[in-house]
């Protein structure tokens, strides 16, 4: 079984000229940058499992809006990004509109770096999945690694040099109770896509070689496909470096 890739002809680090609107003070492009957002300090305890990694970015969305020191939101078409309810979780939503080509909603880290031995871990729920929602490393216009739910199934996809491959096609039926934690983990020269209910036991969905380069950003996104809508409710996201894991 196959499906069409979402309309992201212009990648997540998109250009204003292509109809993708960045919120004020959005990213200005360029190469690798120093981390622009510190990990969460104080407030509620993170719902993500603890580890011995060095945190590069962590957000539990306790503020009233998206923290622009950590994230650059990108919106195209009818998509929306908001902390809703305020101080509780991030809601990313895209409703298909036949008059809006390439509709999607994205938050990406304000800094870029090599994937190396890092990992992205997110706690999220996808209550409406007539489309695609996922976490991703995005390396520019032609490179990405994506763990996503599309129409009720997990997919692990790799964009390399502008061509998509699927290390895992319809890997597993998505269950919101069993798959609350999602992870992209790079170690030993490989990237693993994994899901978990509790952070103790992880199920591997696929693996691929860790790509080179120093312009990779951490991303959470949604994109509607040919009809309907897709919503992701994000409790927390962490990007951490784990050289000894």
Q: What is the pLDDT of residues 75-86, one digit of tens each?
A: 887 889 999 888
pLDDT tens digits, 140-178: 989 999 999 988 899 999 999 999 999 998 899 999 999
Domain of residue 164, residue span: 51-241
71-76: strand order across its sheet: 21-22, 71-76, 104-109, 217-224, 131-140, 143-150, 153-160, 163-168
CATH number at residue 169: 2.60.120.200
Number of domains comprising the chain: 1
**Which structure tokens are listed for 80?**
């929306």
pTM for the model stands at 0.85
Most confident of 26-35, 51-60, 191-200: 191-200
pLDDT tens digits, 212-223: 999 999 999 998
How many Å apart are CA 141 and CA 106, to the nearest integer?
15
Domain membership flag for residue 151: yes
Domain membership flag for residue 134: yes
What are the start-end ranges of the E strands in the chain?
21-22, 54-59, 71-76, 80-83, 90-95, 104-109, 118-129, 131-140, 143-150, 153-160, 163-168, 181-187, 190-196, 202-209, 217-224, 229-241
Domain membership flag for residue 111: yes
Closest CA to 151 of 169, 171, 124, 174: 174
Domain membership flag for residue 21: no
**Which structure tokens are listed for 100?**
């809006």
Confidence of residue 41 (pLDDT cuts 50, 70, 90): very low
């Amino acid at each position: 079984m196959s499906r069409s890739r979402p309309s992201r002809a212009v990648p997540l680090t998109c250009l204003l000229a292509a109809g993708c609107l960045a919120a004020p003070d959005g990213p200005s492009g360029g190469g690798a940058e120093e981390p622009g957002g510190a990990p969460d300090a104080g407030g509620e305890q993170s719902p993500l499992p603890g580890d011995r990694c060095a945190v590069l970015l962590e957000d539990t969305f306790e503020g009233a809006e998206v923290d622009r020191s950590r994230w650059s939101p990108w919106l195209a078409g009818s998509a929306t990004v908001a902390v809703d309810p305020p101080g509780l979780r991030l809601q990313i939503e895209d409703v298909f509109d036949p008059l809006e080509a390439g509709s999607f909603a994205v938050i990406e880290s304000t800094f870029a770096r090599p994937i190396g031995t890092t990992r992205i871990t997110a706690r999220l729920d996808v209550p409406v999945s007539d489309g695609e929602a996922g976490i991703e490393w995005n390396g520019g216009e032609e490179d990405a690694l994506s763990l996503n739910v599309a129409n009720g199934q997990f997919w692990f996809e790799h964009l390399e040099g502008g061509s998509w491959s699927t290390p895992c096609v319809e890997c597993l039926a998505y269950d919101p109770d069993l798959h609350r934690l999602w992870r992209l983990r790079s170690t030993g020269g490989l990237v693993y896509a994994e899901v978990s209910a509790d952070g103790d036991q992880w199920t591997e969905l696929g693996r691929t070689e860790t790509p080179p380069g120093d312009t990779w950003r951490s991303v959470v996104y949604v994109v509607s496909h040919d009809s309907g809508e897709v919503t992701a409710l994000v409790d927390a996201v962490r990007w951490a470096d784990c050289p000894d894991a």
